[in-house]
Amino acid sequence: MKEIIIEKTASTPAIEFYDDGRLLIEGRSLPEDVNKFYKPLLEWVAGLTTERVTVNINLEYLNSASAKKLLEMLKSLDANNRIKSLIINWHYEEGDDDALETGQIFEDLLRKAQFRYFELSEAA
């Protein structure tokens, strides 16, 4: 399985997916074509065979279409019987209650994922 590395843009997040189970999604997610951007990522996570997965999510903004795709991705990981440990590190900016709430909603919708929340100080 080949790793996926995508540089962030003004409208798409940085992606770093490694086959050892380290996944990073960081930046802003409001791609023009959400299906085109997320389809290869969804296919990649569906084929993941490692027992331990840690997902670092640090999105300063995600639109509703991206939120649906992100949840679909997390559900795929959560349902993968080969994955025994699934940790989601949910990073959000201080005072961004919407971002925190999104993480909590996702946590409620998943069965084995363990969420850890990290509040970040506002950017200077």
- pLDDT confidence of residue 123: 57
How many structural domains are present in the chain? 1
- Report pTM: 0.94
CATH number of the domain where residue 87 is located:
3.30.750.24
**Kind of pairing between the strands at 52-62 and 4-6:** unpaired
Q: State which residues form the domain around 56.
A: 8-120
Residue range 45-68: mean pLDDT, rounded: 96
Q: What are the Cα distances from residue 95, in Å, to 2, 15, 58, 105, 121? A: 37, 25, 15, 17, 9
- pLDDT confidence of residue 124: 43
- pLDDT confidence of residue 1: 80
Over the chain, what is the mean pLDDT? 95
Residue range 61-88: mean pLDDT, rounded: 97
Residue range 112-117: mean pLDDT, rounded: 97
Per the domain annotation, does 1 fall within a domain?
A: no
Per the domain annotation, does 84 fall within a domain?
A: yes
Per the domain annotation, does 2 fall within a domain?
A: no
